[in-house]
Amino acid sequence: MRLISFVGRNGQSGYGAQINDQQVAHLSAILGHRYTDLKALLASGLEEAQAALNLAPVLSTHEIHLLPVIPNPNKIICVGLNYETHRVETGRPKEAHPSIFTRFASSQIAAGDPIIRPRVSTALDYEGELALIIGRPGRYIKAADAFSHIAGYACYNDASIRDWQRHSHQFTPGKNFVGTGPFGPWMVTRDEVSDIESQTLTTRLNGEIMQQARIADMIFSIGEIIEYVSSFAPLETGDVIATGTPGGVGFKREPAVYMKPGDTVEVEITQVGVLRNPIADELV
C-alpha cells in the first residue's frame, strides 16, 4: 500500500491509501473511529487497513491536501554523512559510529508544498534521503531484526540552511527552519519494495540530476542504524529515521548551487516514489 495523511475540503485530517494518480481510498472514513491518525493505524499492524481497501469510499486527489506522511512523529532521527561520496566532499574523517542529529516535526512539509527560504539566509540546500517509518516499537533491536520493525519507506528532503548549520559543531539550527523538511508524498509499505537496498536515490533540481546513489552505498546500513538508534532511544510506532544523503550537495559544488524561489526540487527513490516541491521565499 501507498499510505498518505491529508486534510480534506472540510478541514478535517485523515489518512488513506493512494490507488492511482487521481484516486485515494479514504481509510479513515472506515477506521478513523478506532485509529485517529496514520501513526495509530501503523500500530495496528495494517491488517485492518488491507481489509478496508475495497470498502473505503474513494476520494479524488483534488479533494485533499497532502500532509507530511507522519505529521506527528514522536521522533525524527537524522543520520549525517552516511554516504562515502558525501563524507569525502565535506572533508570529514571516517567515524566508527553514525553521526546523529534531530529534526522537529514542526519543520516538516508535504509533497507539493513550497520549501521556504528564510529571510535570514540564501544558503538553502537540498539533501535527498530515504526515510524509514517505524511500525513495531523496540529497544536494543539487533541489526538482523531491524526490518521487522520497519512499516515502510518514503522520500525525504532534509533541506538545510547551510550558514546556520555551520554556526557551530551542532547541526540543529540549520536543519529545523520552518518549511524545510519535505516528507512524502506517501509511505510505501515494506512488502511493496522487493529490496530497498538495491533501489536508487536521485535528487533533481529543475530537472538536472544533482545526486544519485544506490541505497546500498550507505556507510552505515539500515540494520546498523536501527540497532544504534534503538540502543539510546526506544523506537516507537511512527518514528522517522532519515538515513543520510549522497554526495553532490549544493554547497560543495563550484560554484555553490543553492535553491531559490522559482526552482523545483525532486527526490526520487525507485519503487518508493517521487517527492516534488517548489521553492518560495518566506513572507515577511
- Domain range for residue 15? 2-66
Look at residues 37, 66, 95 and tell me which one is the last residue of a structural domain: 66
pTM: 0.97
Q: What is the pLDDT averaged over residues 135-154?
A: 98
Give the chain's domain count.
2
Question: Average pLDDT, stretch 153-167?
Answer: 97
CB 90 within 8 A of CB 252: yes
* Structural domain includes residue 157: yes
Paired residues of 203 in beta bridges? 211, 267
- pLDDT for 170: 85
Same domain, residue pair 92 and 128: yes
Judge whether residue 266 has pLDDT over 90: yes
Within-domain flag for 61: yes
**Cα 114–chain centre separation:** 15
CA 172 – CA 180 distance, rounded (Å): 13
Q: What is the CATH number of the domain that holds 81?
A: 3.90.850.10
Which residue has 543553492 as its cell numbers?
258
Whether residue 19 is contained in a domain is answered as yes
Do 149 and 274 lie in one domain? The reply is: yes
pLDDT tens, 48-85? 999 999 999 999 999 999 999 999 999 999 999 999 99
Residues 217 and 154 in one domain: yes
Same domain? 43 vs 155: no
Contacts of 273 (CB under 8 A, 6+ apart): 2, 154, 155, 184, 185, 186, 188
Q: Based on the domain organization, do 158 and 261 belong to the same domain?
A: yes
Asked if residue 71 belongs to a domain, the reply is no
Domain check: are 62 and 109 in the same one? no
Reported as a single tens digit per residue, the pLDDT across 194-243 is 999 999 999 999 999 999 999 999 999 999 999 999 999 999 999 999 99
Do 156 and 19 fall within a single domain?
Answer: no
Other Cβ atoms within 10 Å of 145 Cβ, number = 14
Same domain, 277 and 154: yes
Q: Based on the fold, state whether residues 23 and 136 are members of the same structural domain.
A: no
Looking at residues 103-120, what average pLDDT do you find?
98
Interior CA angle at 128 toward 126 and 132, to 5°?
140
- 139, pLDDT greater than 90: yes
Sign of CA dihedral 12, 15, 21, 22: negative
